[in-house]
Amino acid sequence: MTIVVLVFSVALHALTFLVLARFYSHVQSVKEERRQLHGMREEMEEILRQYTEEIKQENQGLKDSLHSAAGRHAESSLDQEEIGGAKKTAAPSFQTPQKTREETVEQEAARETEERYVPPSAADEDQLEASNQAKVLSLSARGYERDQIARELGIGKGEVDLFLKFYQ
């Protein structure tokens, strides 16, 4: 009888050991998955941070170019007004009223033709264009690198990284 109890006890201990080993391996795999997810999250955050930094730099450059263009436009319009005012006072008009009326009619006709609205044709409405994400994935499938894809599509490297990361 003691042999049966002893065999039963050893079997029970072996079963308990196997259950504990299985539980330990499961806990380790869960920990590893968490580490991977945490690493992916940090990588995504870094990509987003880089992407927003690129956008900020592009926006600042655009803002600077708009300010400089607006300044140049204001200076040129002031110069044109000064030149136009000098021309008006320096050279009196010797045109007859008939010629000025003809010019006004021609100017009005030209303005009317410019103002006429032409609705878009039906062929223009049916054209579909692939999204940037689809283009990125397509170029990536063809073996293009992220720098080449960004250059080809005219978008930032961070945006390409985001599209590729979300696809994975």
3-state secondary structure 142-168: CCCCHHHHHHHHCCCHHHHHHHHHHHC
- pTM for the model stands at 0.37
pLDDT in tens, 111-141: 666 666 566 666 555 566 778 888 888 898 8
User: What is the token pair recorded at 130?
Assistant: 């692939």
Mean pLDDT of the chain: 81
The pLDDT-based confidence of 76 (bands split at 50, 70, 90) is: low
User: What is the token pair recorded at 117?
Assistant: 């609205």
The pLDDT-based confidence of 101 (bands split at 50, 70, 90) is: low
pLDDT for residue 160: 87
